[in-house]
A and B are shown apart, each in its own frame.
Chain A
């Protein structure tokens, strides 16, 4: 059957390309999540600090990157970033193009967006830590750094996990927009395959299914992590 051949791994099959593209999507999302974790931690710390200026900057960051469509942010970072890097290169006497590689630009753009969501997740998680437990840490003479490392971080991670799993999901889909940088991730490869073979529906449905597979795989991983993290929590209350 023609469909099988087009999707297979043979000479005329797109199977291999689609699988590679799914891998690229996964890689972009994972890199974005990592970048976002760093940015999110910094922004959350700024929003929780007592400095008005830092509060304001943190607020500005989350407002902008949650309020502007992802596509626009990706464009602005990709082209803006490339122009900036090239300009710097020119100033230092380097001729020619120094643009961000599309993988890096894409991951960074999605990471910046993901950071704005992660900041909120981390902030909420921090606020969920029992004040009494922090006092108990102070009361045995733990200094700030120790308290942060031994009491705050592990609990923030635990409370943040469900939120992070949501952000992962968002980033997975934001990564579809990275196709404008020409990166051959799942969305773009589906589009290219559709345009080249003119089998539009086939490839959109297949692309959608691959996204669903990625989703369910990552769901499983997060569920396992949550179960692990929640060992120490009281068992769930009764249902509605």
Chain B
């Protein structure tokens, strides 16, 4: 197929990855990156906001051509759609209320590298001990739920939220003690909470979270996938991704 225009969907309500401005236009890390990628892939791009719940079925129904919505590349998802190479790979970690006794858990500010299926990591064991009997909030159906259930499911209560934002509200309200999510997301949540929330414990990085975040495409559109993978490769290589990432996230999320 001869790609001239490509429709890319995103939620438009997941700051700072992507969000809607008051004038109705889309902004954030992904819309800006998409512009770069489309230029390099030499296609016309149309960004369309849609609801997270319906995104993947709508992609397969043909309503859009690509998804760019902080979509982690996972084995489950690979069964139904295809991915480009990742344009971001974010660490994940815990956050808690500023004045909580759980703040400043051991290892705060450090990084721990984990592989797929790895267990018995010393820092994680330490957190398990420290968070015993507490309630941890996660966003339902994310790559993090398996990790949290595997490591903390026995000793702590885990509560699943439909969105990260709901979880953050409950974290501030004191209904739960800890939240676990990607640190980039937390960074902006912490900023919005005006310092009421803080990170605690080490950031966890590595292949345990899969390959990172990539663009989702229909399985049949391998040509489109390859065009954008090339574009991402070049944007990573010349530091465009790093620049945008630091603009929006304050850190570099380029996959390493």
Query: Is there a direct interface between A and B, measured as CB atoms under 8 Å apart in the complex?
Result: yes
Q: Which residues of A contact B (CB under 8 A)?
A: 6, 11-14, 17, 75, 78-79, 82-83, 86, 95-99, 179-182, 184, 188, 191-196, 198, 200
For A191, the chain B residues whose CB sits under 8 A away are 13
Which of B12, B14, B48, B188 is most buried by chain A, counting CB atoms within 10 A of its CB? B12
The B contact surface, by secondary structure, is mixed
Nearest Cβ in chain B — how far from A10, in angstroms? Answer: 8
Partner of B54 from A12, A13, A78, A193 at Cβ < 8 Å:
A78
Interface residue from B23, B50, B165, B169 paired with A182 (Cβ < 8 Å): B50
> B195 at the A/B interface (Cβ < 8 Å)?
no
Top 6 nearest A-B pairs (CB, nearest first) are: A195-B13, A182-B50, A97-B62, A196-B19, A198-B192, A192-B13
How far apart are B196's CB and chain A's nearest CB, in angstroms? 12
Which residue of B20, B51, B169 is within 8 Å of A196 (Cβ)?
Answer: B20
Which chain A residues border B163 with CB–CB below 8 Å?
195
- Whole-angstrom CA separation of A222 from B74 in the bound complex: 52
Q: How far is the CA of A11 from the CA of B24 in the complex (A)?
A: 11
Complex CA distance for A199 and B61, rounded to whole angstroms: 34
Residue B58 interfacial (CB < 8 Å): yes
A200 touches B63 (CB 8 A): no
* Residues in A neighbouring B63, C-beta threshold 8 A: 82, 97, 99
Q: Does B43 contact A (CB under 8 A)?
A: no
Would you mind naming 22 contact pairs between A and B with Cβ atoms under 8 Å apart? A12-B22, A14-B22, A78-B54, A79-B54, A82-B62, A83-B61, A97-B61, A97-B62, A97-B63, A99-B58, A179-B51, A180-B51, A181-B50, A182-B51, A182-B58, A191-B13, A192-B13, A194-B13, A195-B163, A196-B12, A196-B15, A200-B169
